[in-house]
């Protein structure tokens, strides 16, 4: 696929940074967005440390979204609604990849919150009616993403109601070494993906591990029938 310009909203956290590193390594241009210009520029510098040839800059969320062709949402869920509502006019009809899982730590456990719209990604679509929202990348461990020298061993299940945006996201995912992308159906399925992140984080804690997901039973290169 041709190089894209990817804008990360909330790209200074571990998941956004990890994905930014992998996509920079794949030759895409990266704009790290943050509420703070300084933190965005610091995060861009961290990407450059991992990927010296990276085409990467850091700026405030609004400018990042203006610059990007594809918007990747990696804010904490607590800021998901307000951040996207504020950016809606700038995002307009762009393609949006929502990576957010609505999780909270409560009573020593990781729990998934129920979102009125159904899921974080469905909330994004409701706030951004002109955009093509896709849900993906929830299950890629942030610290594994940062270890750029090591291929992952993971499937990325992608959900969405916009076929072209879904295909573009799947192509992007497969540019991360060791990742296979799978078509997980409509955006209504995104709740199940987002919530399953809580299972992987529970397993990480129980087993002191960095888990990922593989779907068995689909031949490599299998395409939706």
The residues binding its own copies (CB under 8 A) are 109, 111-112, 114, 141, 144, 153-154, 157, 182-186, 188-189, 191-193, 195-196, 198-200, 202-203, 206-218, 222-225
Residue matched to tokens 């395409």: 223
Query: Is 26 strand, coil or helix?
Result: coil
Nearer to its own copies, 88 or 188 (CB): 188
Least spacing, CB of residue 6 vs its own copies, in Å: 25
Query: Is 38 strand, coil or helix?
Result: helix
Nearer to its own copies, 3 or 205 (CB): 205
Least spacing, CB of residue 192 vs its own copies, in Å: 4
Least spacing, CB of residue 224 vs its own copies, in Å: 4
Q: DSSP string of 66-115? A: HH-SEEEE---GGGHHHHHHHHHHHHTT-EEEE----EEEETTEEEEPP-
Kindly report the backbone phi and psi dihedral angles of residue 11, in degrees, each rounded to the nearest multiple of 5, phi listed first. Answer: -90, 10
Nearer to its own copies, 112 or 127 (CB): 112
Least spacing, CB of residue 38 vs its own copies, in Å: 34
* Residues facing residue 109 across a β-bridge: 106
Half-sphere exposure of 119 (CA within 13 A, CB side): 26
Nearer to its own copies, 52 or 219 (CB): 219
């Amino acid at each position: 696929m041709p190089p894209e310009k990817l804008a990360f909203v909330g790209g200074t956290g571990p998941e956004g940074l990890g994905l930014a590193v992998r996509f920079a390594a794949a030759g895409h241009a990266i704009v790290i967005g943050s509420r703070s210009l300084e933190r965005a520029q610091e995060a861009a510098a961290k990407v450059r440390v991992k990927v010296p040839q990276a085409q990467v800059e850091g700026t405030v969320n609004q400018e990042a979204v203006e610059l990007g062709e594809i918007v990747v949402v990696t804010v904490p869920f607590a800021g998901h609604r307000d951040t996207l509502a504020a950016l809606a006019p700038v995002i307009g009809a762009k393609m949006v990849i929502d990576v957010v899982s609505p999780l909270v730590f409560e009573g020593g456990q990781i729990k998934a919150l129920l979102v009125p719209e159904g899921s974080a990604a469905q909330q994004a679509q409701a706030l951004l009616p002109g955009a093509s929202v896709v849900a993906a990348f929830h299950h890629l461990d942030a610290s594994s993403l940062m270890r750029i020298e090591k291929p992952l061993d993971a499937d990325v299940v992608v959900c969405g109601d916009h076929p072209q945006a879904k295909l573009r996201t799947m192509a992007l995912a497969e540019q991360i070494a060791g990742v296979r992308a799978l078509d997980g159906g409509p955006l209504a399925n995104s709740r199940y993906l987002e919530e399953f992140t809580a299972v992987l984080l529970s397993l990480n804690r129980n087993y002191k591990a960095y888990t990922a997901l593989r779907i068995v039973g689909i031949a490599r290169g299998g395409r939706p029938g």
